[in-house]
Structure 1
C-alpha cells in the first residue's frame, strides 16, 4: 500500500509540474544577477502568477535584439526585457513583437504612448570618475585631457549605443572629429556594461561610461561617496529601458501579466537599489536616501526612433573609423 501511495504521489507531483507554465524572459546579464532586480522580481511575480519565471541572459541590451533577430520565429523568448529607446524602431521592424497593451502612471521625463513596449526604468548616460580628480566638463575637455576611459561597444551594448547618439546629437557633422580626438583617451571597448564598470572599480581606468545614477550604488550599498558623475555642458543623453511581448509566444496572457507586474509598485520599488536607475513609475515610498545627491542634467538629449534608425549607420561608421586608426 505504501508503494501505491508513493506512486500516486509521484504521479500527482509530475502532473503539477507539467501544468505549471514557464515564462521565459530574455534580459541582459546584470539584470538577472543575484545583486540585480531579477531575483526579487522573479520571486514576487511567481508568488502571484502560479508559474515558473525563467531568465535567459544574452550579454547587454543591444545583444538581446541581435539574438532575437537570429532566432526569429524559433525563439523561446516570451518577453524581452532590456531594450531601450534607441532600439525600439529596429525592434519593431523585426515584426517579432506584439502590442503590450499595458497602461501605467509613468513618471518619465518624456511622455510615453508606445503601444508595443513597456518602460521599466530610465536614466542619463554619464562618465563616472573619482571625487577630487580631474573633472572635464565636456567631450572636448575630456579629449584634451590625459584621462583614460573605458566605453562599451555600441553594436552589443545599449550604453555604448547611447554614447554614439550622445556625441552625434551634441556635435552633428563634427561628431567624427570628436571621436578622433577621444580615441587616445579610450583604453578599450568592452562588449557590455559590467566588464567596463569592473575595470573602473578595479582602478584600471580613470573614467567609465555609465549613468548619472551609478554613484547611488556606492553611496547606499557601500557608504562611499567617492564616485561621481561628471556633468557635461553639452547635456546628457536620456535612456528609457523597455520590455516587450514576443508575438510568437505561447504565453501571451502570462507575458502581459508579467509586464503589468513590472510596472507595479512591488517591482518598481526594487529598481532603484538593484538596477540603480530611476523607476518608470514613482514608488509609493519615494526614492531611497542617496538619490537626492545625484547630479541633475541641465539639458536632456534624446533622438526620436525614426532619426535613430537613420543616423545609426553613419554614427557607427564615424565611431569605428576613429577608433581603428
Structure 2
C-alpha cells in the first residue's frame, strides 16, 4: 500500500473519530413522559426537532405507561436517574410530586401564560390544559345530561364508561370534578349515578374504545376530544356534554429534577415548550389547549376554551391531603 493510501486511510479514520467524539460531546437532555406524548403522532417528535435545531444538543424522550409511571421510574432510579425532566404530571399530583423533593426550581418566566385558572409553582411549568367532560354521539343522543344531577336521573339503561382514579388521570379528574362541583353532595350523587356506570376501566383508551364500539352512551374524556374527530377524521357527530356546574381543569406540568446535570439546558427546553413555536404544536398532537394565546389562534375546527366561570379546580394542598379519601368514597358509593 502506498504512503499516499496509508495517509488517506489514516485521515478517514481520524475524521470518523472526530465525528464520533463531536456527537458524544453534544449534551443529551433526557425527558421522561407518558407514551402518548413520546409517540410518533404525539408532540414529542416535533418538539424534539424544534429544540434540537437551536440547542446543539440531543433530546431523548423516554415513554412510560403514564406520567405517574414516569415519576415512579425516576423515584426508583434515585439520584442516578438519567432523567433531566419529568413531563406530563398534572395539578392532581403536583403536591405529591413536590413532596418527593426530586424537583428543582425551573427559573422560567411564566408571566405570558394564559390559563383559565390561577396556577403558579416554582417547580412546575404548565404546558397545556384541558377540561374533563363526557363525550357522546349526537347522532344517537339528542339531549345529553347537562349536570351531574341529570346524569344521576337518567334511566338505568343509559350507560357510561369512566376510568379508575387510582390508575388514570381522567379517572382521578372525575373524582376531583365531582368534589369541586358538589362537595358534600358527592357521595349521594355517586350512589345515584352508580347504576349508569357500565364499567370502571384501568385507563382512558379502554373506556374510549367501548364508547366508539357503541357499548356505552357516554365516556369520560375531554371537551377537546371532539376536536380530534373533527380535524383528524372529518367527523362532527361527537360532542362534549356541557355541564351547568362547570368542568374540572387539568393543567399538565413539566419539572426539572434536582439530580439533573443539565439544569440550564432543561430550563431552556421548558422556555421553548411554552414559546409560540412550542405551543403551536400542542393542539393537534396532544389535543389539549395551549397555555399561551397563539399568534395565529387555534387551528380551524378546534373547540374554544370554556368561560372562566365554568373552570373548576381544587388547590394543590386540598388535593394532596384528601385525594385518597375522595377515591375511597367514590368506590364505596358505587359499590366497588
d(CA) in 1 for partners of 2:64 and 2:164? 15
User: Take 2:317 and 2:298, find their aligned partners in 1: how far apart are those partners?
Assistant: 33
| 1:74-93 alignment runs, 5 A limit | 74-93=80-99
SS of residue paired to 2:244: coil
Matched residue, 1:54: 60
| Cα displacement (A) at 1:81 | 0.8
Gap regions ≥5 residues in structure 1: none
How far does the alpha carbon of each residue in 1:214-235 deviate from its partner, in whole angstroms, 9 at most, with x for none?
Answer: 1111112222110100011222
Question: 5-14 or 189-198: which moved more?
Answer: 189-198
The aligned counterpart of 1:291 is 302
The equivalences for 1:255-294 within 5 A come to 255-292=266-303
**CA distance 1:60–1:324, change in 2 (3 Å):** farther
Contact 2:161 2:207 in 1 (8 A): yes
1:167/1:292 CA distance change after superposition, 3 Å:
closer
1:165-217 Cα offsets, whole Å, 9 max, x none, are: 11112222332222233333323333333333333233333222111111111
**What is the CA–CA distance in structure 2 between the aligned matches of 1:62 and 1:192, rounded to whole Å?**
13
**CA distance in structure 2 between the partners assigned to 1:54 and 1:194 by the alignment:** 25
Task: Tell me the SS of whatever aligns to 2:134.
Answer: strand
Partners of 2:90 and 2:253 within 8 A in 1: yes
CA distance in 1 between partners of 2:21 and 2:224 (Å): 46
The ranges of structure 1 where at least 4 consecutive aligned residues each deviate by more than 4 angstroms after the TM superposition are 292-298
Compute the TM-score of the two structures, normalised by the length of structure 1: 0.93
Selected match of 2:14 from 8, 14, 23: 8
Residue 43 of structure 2 is aligned to residue 32 of structure 1: no
Does residue 1:231 correspond to 2:237, yes or no? Answer: no
Give the equivalent residue in structure 2 for 1:98: 104
1:276 positional shift: 1.1
Alignment: residue pair count: 325
Contact 2:106 2:125 in 1 (8 A): yes
Q: Which runs of 5+ in 2 are unaligned?
A: 1-5
CA change 1:165–1:203 in 2 (3 A) is same
Deviation at 1:241, TM superposition (A): 0.9
Match of 1:129 in 2: 136
Q: Is the 8 A contact 2:132 2:249 kept in 1?
A: yes
Query: In the alignment, is the contact (CA less than 8 A) between 1:213 and 1:276 conserved in 2?
Result: yes
Residue 267 of structure 1 and its aligned partner are, at CA, apart by 0.8
Distance of aligned partners of 1:198 and 1:177 in 2 relative to their CA distance in 1, 3 Å threshold: same
- What does the per-residue CA deviation read over 1:254-280, in whole Å, with 9 as the maximum and x for residues that have no partner? 111110110011110111111111100
- Higher mean C-alpha displacement, 254-263 vs 130-139: 130-139
Q: Which residue of 2 aligns with 1:111?
A: 118
Please tell me whether Structure 1 or Structure 2 has the larger radius of gyration of its CA atoms: 2
> Alpha carbon RMSD of aligned pairs, Å?
2.0
Distance 1:164 1:87 in 2: 13
1:182-201 matches, cutoff 5 A:
182-201=193-212
